[in-house]
A and B are shown apart, each in its own frame.
Chain A
Amino acid sequence: MKHKTISYAKFGYLFILPFFIVYLFFQVYPLFYTFYLSTQSNGSQTTSSVGLDNFKIILSGTPIIDEAKTAENKANGDDTIAYKVQKRSSESTMKDFRRVLGNTFLLWIGNFIPQIIISLLLAAWFTDAYLKIKGKGFYKIVMYMPNIITAASVAALFVMLFSDSKLGAINSWLANHGYEVVPFVSGKTQSRVMIMIIQTWMWFGNTTIMLMSGIMGINPSLFEAANIDGASPRQQFFRITLPLLRPILLYTVVTSMIGGLQMYDMPALYNMGTSQNRYTETIAVYIFNNFHNSMAPNLGYSAAASVILFFITAILGAIAFRVNNEDGDQKVRKGNQALKIKLGGN
């Protein structure tokens, strides 16, 4: 009956067409435009081509020599001054970029470690069939709540509470009780630790729920067998849960890292007044502030930083994808093996 088959392929294309048109227009084109802008000059809205100079400057601080100017200066007898000025500005740009990269990584790791420890513990407890915890649903709902609240409003709330002056709620309490006022918002360590705490507060519920669904995917008969064999909860956690959770943990680390690279709202808004705190300026804030400056936007540096961010994300994304697609059966088999070896060897 082959000749009677009607091809519906056309409808497949029609159904996915709007997605791809909009995607092309609002994502793909801007992405290539960003790549293009990364080879353009800085300091004004109209740009000229500078090749790969922006990358050289932000990555290695190499001064870019303006040939014509150098020749002119040489003729005037002072060929070193222009070079020195250029070198100093290149180096400060590089230092700025390294600083924001360092900040980004520090803020991410500082919120990820406490978050993953709390979440692992909670996920293990919530899925432990032998614990008689009442109101699990309630705890989950309350702990997830900070994640749903507007990050910009959360930043505003914490700025109000922890404001450096005595007008901040916490500092006024400290001052009333005879303590020194602490610069929670502008101090180097203080502001970083505060952002780490706020980020942990916002994300631990989310990570808990993700890890829980991972643990619930583990074959329950493993836990039953371990229980019959008299394994303690600690042994079960370290020898069944953790090894079998490894792919999901890795996935969580990588996706959290991708999220961490995009951290914007909190570092951009947890500030005194409107000036950006240097110690909590992340790469996302750096990109935004460099291009969103109506007077003298540094489109080149901003775009170059975006391109670097793109490649870091692409590598991390590829890892996450591979981990996520690892064969399910293989995971279980590996886990069973690990279980046998570990429990047997005990």
Chain B
Amino acid sequence: MPEKTRSNSGMIMARTIAVTVVLVLLTIFALVPIWVLVVNATRSSVDITGKGVSLIPGLNFIENIKTLSSWTSEGKVEFNAFRGYINSGVISLCATGLTVLFSVMTAYGLVVYDFKLRKVAYTIIIAVMMVPVQVTSVGFYKFMLSIGLTDTYWPLIIPAIAAPAIVFFMRQSMKSTFPLEIVEAARIDGCGEYRTFFTIGIPMMKPAIAVQAIFAFVANWNNYYTPSMILISRKRTQLTLPMMVNTIVSNDKLADYGAKYLAIMLSIIPVVIVYFIFSKFIVEGVALGGVKE
């Protein structure tokens, strides 16, 4: 029936066009705030406060960089992009490294070895996966205060060793992709258990490790709650980038809006770069299992 096919394909065309229009609108919705941020970082303060929103970049980018760096060098603000990159980078990289190494190790222990408490251990990990950080933060804060670890990076880095959600995903992917025979074979060849883990286990888990590392890095970089809880004294040299952004925006005495927008932009550049390099992995990783903050 050629006629029916034609009307059908017409219907499909019409639907495709309608759907595409909605998709384009939602794409604009997703992009506009970020575009406005970039545009405002290139405009002069007078232009921003005088004309309001604009979608066309200005010519004040260099000027804004100069203003922002003069604030930093004169000590007017706690914002120091370079410092912020180092602080946030150190915390995020250390925490991410610990998270993936110990998560893959825990998952390996749960998958490869058969021991009495294996089921219990796994059940505990699942049970604690959803406990929100806010629930334990009063006790955590008081505890850190009493052992003198506030105003240090330790409480932001060491707890990363125990990341139940990441252990869960590592175990799932190891269960489906990791051949246990290879461990047997290594044993027969006289390879020790630790060596097997480091020379066979980790390399075989590389794809899963990469995905979880990206998520862990972004989550740590974006974390505002824990650093603002632990770094009580708000020492200039210790602040993470998101904290610096907050101090610059809530400071009413600074009137140069272009420079303020530039500060916000600088704080998100690293995650945006990471995102564009790894976006394919990230989207796939989200699809694999509800990754929620």
Please give the residue numbers on chain A whose beta carbons come within 8 Å of chain B beta carbons, in ascending order: 8-16, 18-20, 22-23, 26-27, 29-37, 118, 121-122, 125, 130-134, 137, 139-146, 148-154, 156-161, 166-167, 169-174, 176, 201, 204-206, 209-210, 212-213, 233, 251-252, 255-256, 258-259, 261-262, 264-265, 269, 271, 273-274, 283-284, 287-288, 291-292, 294, 299, 302-303, 306-307, 309-310, 313, 316-317, 320-321
Contact = CB atoms under 8 A, between A and B. Distances in A.
Interface of B: 12, 15-16, 19-20, 22-23, 26-27, 29-31, 33-34, 36-37, 40, 48-53, 102-103, 105-106, 108-110, 112-118, 121, 125-143, 155, 158-159, 161-162, 164, 167, 193, 197, 218, 221-222, 224-225, 229, 232, 241-243, 245-246, 248-250, 252, 257, 260-261, 264, 267-268, 271-272, 274-275, 279-280, 282-283, 286-288, 290-293
A139 to B, nearest CB: 5
B159 A309 contact: no
Main secondary structure of the interface of A (DSSP, over half): helix
A20 B27 CA distance: 43
A299 B142 contact: yes
Contact of A11 (B167, B193, B218, B286): B193
A9 B115 contact: yes
A153 B139 contact: no
B138 A15 contact: no
Given A118-B26, A149-B271, A269-B246, A287 B137 contact: yes
8 contacts: A16-B109, A125-B19, A148-B282, A150-B268, A151-B222, A152-B246, A157-B37, A317-B127
Contacts of B15: 131, 233
Given A11-B109, A149-B34, A233-B15, A288 B229 contact: yes
A31 B288 contact: no
Given A150-B241, A299-B138, A313-B135, 4 more contacts: A131-B19, A141-B283, A157-B37, A210-B287
A8 B229 contact: no
